[in-house]
Amino acid sequence: MTESLPQRLEHARKLKERAIVKLESLLDPREIKVARRDHHARRKPRHCGITIHTGIGCSYGCVYCYIWDMGFPGKPKPYPLNSLQMAYALALNPYVVPRYTFAAYGSVTEPFLEETRDKAIDYMRTIYRYLLLPSQVSTKSLITGDLVRKLTNTDPNLSILISITGISSKARRLEPGAPDPIMRIRSASYLKGTNITPTLFIRPIIPGITDKEYENILDLASNAGIRTLVLGTLRVTSGIVKRLKLVGVEIPPKLLPRRLDNKKQQYISGSHIKKMLEHIASNKGFLVLPSACSANVYSHRSACYKCRLGPCGRPSYPSIVEVKEALSILELDNYRVVDVSPSAIRLQRTGKSTKRDEVKLFWLREVSRLDLILA
Ligand code: SF4
């Protein structure tokens, strides 16, 4: 990032304005109305970015998955917006900052299911074209030569998370509809020679499975050319624990949260397993990244220090003068810069805040890729 913070802000703002005008000219009034009403037009991104739904439901039937508790069906269908509508909805979303907001495909469904694959690729291509969002997709599907060819026409530095929990027959009972996990890992070798970065995404870590099989998983990944790893602890609801039991996987009660909930997903106590895996993987030469968005940053050779898990990459930080100018561009005259450190911008409110301040401060955080602290 060689541009100054104010230049980056201006550029992002222009990109957003241009995208809205162009997409409006390509959509008919009914399509515009539907896109405006969609939740992608208003949902606030989380740390890992804005999750983009490519479909509704999933046929892989993973036993540990939380989408069943959210009421999603087992028969998938493509998300109802066409790709221009989806790009338009995101362009309208006040929190989505072109070039900076991370885009995450595949959080509530597998994006490359037969039923949703074409739509997913169409979304990825169109959204990148208009908004240049650094994109990431997580998948349990096989990476084929044909898929790679199509993906290289989306975000050229795409981050792909190859999602794995185990490779034994016991592990396969957890993912009854998904392709063979060994083949999934091996298929990442199709990405060799492209700018797309595959990351092994060991999530969820299932006690009694993942911690028994990790050596083979890591060796397979290494042979397939995967160099980066993200680990994720299992989150449970009472339904997930029950479903796991039905396929013979019992989570030791001492690892479970004190009280299970029907809907609320809670982490099990898995940090000891995670630490052990981190250690072994680092010794095997993997770069262990703290989260999915960190893999996205790595793939885009970018940097971020928006949260306590960072720094991811090597963030450079703006001068106080740049932040002052950025506040002026954002019309945040009611804030003054206290200081700027390598990890955060510290601001003080000097006047009444308005409703729109939240969005403007969000932009400052997204574009600077630093945490914001209000003194
Ligand atoms: S600092 Fe790293 S983990 Fe935190 S939001 Fe940024 S990329 Fe994600």
CA of 47 to the centre of ligand 1 (A): 7
Pick the residue whose CA is nearest to atom 7 on ligand 1. 294
Q: Does residue 47 have its Cβ closer than 6 Å to ligand 1?
A: yes
Looking at the domain 5-299, which fold is it? TIM Barrel (3.20.20)
Residue 355: what pLDDT?
Answer: 82
213: CB partners within 8 A, 6+ apart:
166, 167, 168, 171
Binned at pLDDT 50, 70 and 90, residue 160 comes out as very high
Q: Does residue 303 have its Cβ closer than 6 Å to ligand 1?
A: no
- Which atom of ligand 1 is closest in space to residue 297's alpha carbon? 7
Average pLDDT score over residue span 41-68: 92
- 3-state SS assignment for residue 263: coil
Residue 161: what pLDDT?
Answer: 97
Give, for ligand 1, the residue of 288, 309, 314, 365 to mutate: max count of ligand atoms closer than 8 Å to Cβ. 309
- Percentage of the chain exceeding pLDDT 90: 91
Instruction: Give residue limits of the domains in the chain.
Output: 5-299, 320-374
Q: Residues 162, 199: contact at Cβ < 8 Å?
A: yes
Q: What DSSP state is assigned to residue 44? A: P
- Percentage of the chain exceeding pLDDT 70: 100
Q: Does residue 365 have its Cβ closer than 6 Å to ligand 1?
A: no
- Which atom of ligand 1 is closest in space to residue 312's alpha carbon? 2
Q: Tokens for 194?
A: 């492209």
Average pLDDT score over residue span 322-348: 95
Pick the residue whose CA is nearest to atom 4 on ligand 1. 307
Angle at 252 between CA 246 and CA 256, to 5 degrees: 95
Residue 23: what pLDDT?
Answer: 98
Quick one: which H or E segment has residue 140? none
Average pLDDT score over residue span 31-38: 98
**DSSP per residue, 295-345:** HHHHHTT--BBSSTT--BS------HHHHHHHHHHTT-TTEEEEEE-SSEE
Give, for ligand 1, the residue of 306, 366, 367, 372 to mutate: max count of ligand atoms closer than 8 Å to Cβ. 306
291: CB partners within 8 A, 6+ apart:
47, 48, 230, 309
Residue 315: what pLDDT?
Answer: 83
CA of 296 to the centre of ligand 1 (A): 9
Q: Does residue 129 have its Cβ closer than 6 Å to ligand 1?
A: no
CA of 194 to the centre of ligand 1 (A): 24
Q: What DSSP state is assigned to residue 255? A: G
Distances (CA, A) of 66 to 30, 108, 179, 240, 243: 34, 8, 19, 7, 11
Binned at pLDDT 50, 70 and 90, residue 47 comes out as confident
Q: Does residue 86 have its Cβ closer than 6 Å to ligand 1?
A: no
Distance CA 102, CA 243 (A): 32
pLDDT at 282 over 80: yes
Q: Does residue 293 have its Cβ closer than 6 Å to ligand 1?
A: yes
Q: Does residue 307 have its Cβ closer than 6 Å to ligand 1?
A: yes
38: CB partners within 8 A, 6+ apart:
81, 85, 86, 89
pTM: 0.95
pLDDT at 337 over 70: yes
pLDDT at 1 over 60: no
Binned at pLDDT 50, 70 and 90, residue 351 comes out as confident
Q: Which stretches of 132-242 are assigned E, i.e. beta strand?
A: 135-139, 159-164, 197-205, 228-233, 235-236
Give, for ligand 1, the residue of 1, 135, 297, 302 to mutate: max count of ligand atoms closer than 8 Å to Cβ. 297
Average pLDDT score over residue span 318-346: 95
Q: What is the largest CA-CA distance in the chain?
A: 62
Distance of CA 220 to the CA centre of its chain: 24
Binned at pLDDT 50, 70 and 90, residue 75 comes out as confident
Residue 69: what pLDDT?
Answer: 82
Cα torsion 179, 294, 86, 363 to 10°: value is: 170
Q: Does residue 305 have its Cβ closer than 6 Å to ligand 1?
A: yes
Closest CA to 13 of 373, 369, 360: 360
List, for residues 291-307, the tens digit of each pLDDT value: 999 999 999 999 999 99
- Which atom of ligand 1 is closest in space to residue 290's alpha carbon? 3
